[in-house]
Amino acid sequence: MTATDLETRYGQMISLDELARYFHAHVRAVRNALDAQGIPILTFGSSTVVPLRLVEQGFGLADIAHDDDLMRHQAARFESGYRADGTPKPIEEFVAEVQADTPRWLAEIKAARERLEDQRRA
Amino acid sequence: MSGYALDAGVVSAIRASGLSPVDWVGDHNVAVSEVAIQEVFRHLPADDAKYIGNLAVLAHLAEAPTAVTDAIIGLARELMARYSRHSPALATNDALIAADAILSSRVLITKNTHDFHYIDGLTWIDANGFHAVDGSLIQTRGAVSASPGPRPCCSRLEPQ
């Protein structure tokens, strides 16, 4: 069975080296973590790969990858809390931006509430 | 305690459940802060189904989102100073959301307990993994408060 056959059958593979770079960890540490999770490590010639799907499941990454609300909230939190140069915004600057942004959302919530009340009355 | 405050991730969870916030939480007294609102809507196009769904959730709340007052800013600043040696650091938005909940005597409902669990004076409910199958959140989950001392999930240092 070739590596391509394996991917066709078990899904995308990722090399141990790539995984180590992703986690900013030594290959040995990643290998130990994979062993602890019972994730099979496969060797083809000079390549050592693992099934990406099992890595995502084993380390609880699948839920995060599929929760785009969480990812969006995290991005919003970072953008609102830090300036473009990476320095944290003072609380006054943060609040000023919140107060500049929120009126349009508040207006939309108010309009949605009025539509809801109209529906209840109808 | 006098009611509940929703963190941003919880608004999304309620939207996904298809329930009203009152049914999902199990109480009529539910509020959300303007700080959480911006997390809810930012990066979502106005015609996105999630944007419209979030609006519908928030429209069900009896009260308009709570504004950031000087008192909230003052307490948030105090919390950030008190936990300046905490790791992970208390983010500005979390400090403001926590301060709002503390000053309004509301229980914060959050999926990010990691960000709040060490804040003295704050009471919260962990909404992780709650799917509203067997009842409302407050029927099935208890509210908890910070207890003194180190926690295994963070390097909490005592307030300065």
Q: Do A99 and B68 touch (CB under 8 A)?
A: yes
Rounded Cα distance, A47 and B95, in Å = 47
Confidence at residue B52, expressed as pLDDT on a 0 to 100 scale: 93
Among B34, B78, B100, which would you mutate to test the A interface (most chain A Cβ atoms within 10 Å of its Cβ)? B34
Q: In sequence order, what are the residues at sequence separation of 6 or more whose Cβ sits closer than 8 angstroms to the Cβ of residue B63? A: B31
> Could you read off the pLDDT of B99-155 as tens digits, one per residue?
999 999 999 999 888 889 889 899 999 998 887 777 899 888 888 887 666 555 566
Per-residue pLDDT of chain A (122 residues; tens, 9 = 90+): 666 677 777 777 888 888 888 777 888 988 999 998 899 998 877 888 888 888 878 877 766 655 778 778 878 888 888 888 878 899 999 999 999 989 999 999 999 999 988 988 88
Q: Measured between CB atoms, does B103 come within 8 Å of chain A?
A: no
Q: Is the ipTM of this complex over 0.90?
A: no
Q: Do B68 and A101 touch (CB under 8 A)?
A: no
Task: Compare all CA atoms of chain A with the CA of B20 and give the residue at the minimum distance.
Answer: A116
- Which chain B residues are closer than 8 Å to A82 by Cβ? none
For residue B159, whether the previous peptide bond is cis, meaning omega lies within 30 degrees of 0, is: no
Task: Compare all CA atoms of chain B with the CA of A115 and give the residue at the minimum distance.
Answer: B59
Rounded Cα distance, B100 and B79, in Å = 12
